[in-house]
Amino acid sequence: MIICRSSEELKQHLPDKDTDNYSVGFVPTMGALHQGHISLLNCAKKKTAFTVVSLFVNPTQFNDPEDYEKYPRNIDTDLNLLERNGCDLVFIPSYEDIYPQGVADKTYDLGNLDKVMEGPSRPGHFNGVAMVVHRLFELVEPTDAFFGEKDFQQLAIIKYLVTSLNLSITIHGCPILRENNGLAMSSRNERLTSEQREEAAVIYATLKEAREQWNRFSSTDELKGFVINKINDNPYLQVEYFELVDANTLQELVDIANANEAVGCVAVYAGNIRLIDNIRFYS
Ligand code: AMP
């Protein structure tokens, strides 16, 4: 496995574009890797000839400085995991590689997809994501890039970004990997206490129950109320939002009868750790 710690090194080690079957599959991450990240690498390995994973904790996408400070960083463990799972190249850029001019105020058109759900409570978050992903795309020049459906809104925004910037990169969404109790895997889970981690299983259990009992709700408000109350009944958890949205436009669904492309997205606090999850209401 090749390890590149600067964009200069990266340039020297990317495969030659003239090689037969040239394809580069890219998985951007913030490190503290778990099996969810590895599942993206596995998707990339199936679809492309050469795989690149980046590790960069991007300051511009954190709106809470404490969350940035406390974000877990385990480069050695990450490298070990990537090597064992057959990654071809790991890119660990410096801050200057990503922000050569410092953090200039670059504002992206995100088609208003950034205005809902995560948007209001995390101002600037998706613009920060757009900055880092766009810059990483410029440096890695992938043919394909792989993102988790766990961050459903992020995935929709990246697809929009690639279309609006006219980049020829195929974006693949990969399914959510979960812990045994159903909690969506996340680097932030490491910061939960063992009780919080156990109790947070209620989040996915409730989403599943809402989907299974879909027919008994007469309105989207009733369904939302069910999810929010059930999660809030758990003393370890506090819902920030639960939205039922159209999978493509991310606009809130008002009529439950039109929910054949609906996704239920939730953000929940366990103590001061913010967790997100989602479920499709269609197969
Ligand atoms: P992060 O390091 O949290 O920025 O995540 C890097 C990529 O891994 C993003 O595309 C995430 O959506 C994806 N990811 C994170 N957790 C999971 C999971 N549990 N299952 C699948 N993909 C995930």
Query: Is any atom of ligand 1 closer than 6 Å to the C-beta of 265?
Result: no
pLDDT at position 283 over 70: no
As a whole number of angstroms, the distance between CA 239 and CA 203 comes to 9
Residue 40 Cβ < 6 Å to ligand 1 = yes
Give the C-alpha separation, 33 to 28, whole Å: 11
Per-residue pLDDT of 5-41, as tens digits, reads 999 999 999 999 998 889 999 999 999 999 999 999 9
For residue range 211-235, list pLDDT tens digits in order: 999 889 989 999 999 999 999 999 9
Percent of the chain with pLDDT over 90: 87
Q: What is d(CA 62, CA 104) in angstroms, rounded to the nearest whole number?
A: 16
The verdict on whether 37 is a catalytic residue reads: yes
The response to whether residue 51 sits with its C-beta less than 6 Å from ligand 1 reads no
Tell me if 128 CB under 6 Å of ligand 1.
no
**Which of the pair, 258 or 122, is modelled with greater confidence?**
122
CA–CA separation, 255 vs 261, rounded Å? 12
Radius of gyration of the chain (CA): 19
Q: Is the CB of 151 under 6 A from ligand 1?
A: yes
Pull the structure tokens for residue 82.
Answer: 């990537």
Q: Which atom of ligand 1 is nearest to the CA of 175?
A: 21
DSSP state of 218: S
Across the beta sheet with 273-280, what order do the strands follow? Answer: 237-246, 262-270, 273-280
Q: pTM value?
A: 0.96
DSSP string for 20-75: TT--EEEEEE-S---HHHHHHHHHHHHH-SEEEEEE---GGG-SSHHHHHHS---H
pLDDT at res. 263: 95
Catalytic residue among 37, 125, 134, 172: 37
Strands 24-29 and 144-148: parallel
pLDDT over 70 percentage in the chain: 98
Of residues 46, 49, 275, 30, the one with CA closest to residue 150: 275
Please, which pLDDT band fits residue 172 given cuts at 50, 70 and 90? very high
Separation of 25 CA from ligand 1 center, angstroms?
15
| Nearest ligand 1 atom to alpha carbon 31 | 2
> With 80 as the cut, is the pLDDT of residue 267 above it?
yes
Atom in ligand 1 nearest the alpha carbon of residue 39: 21
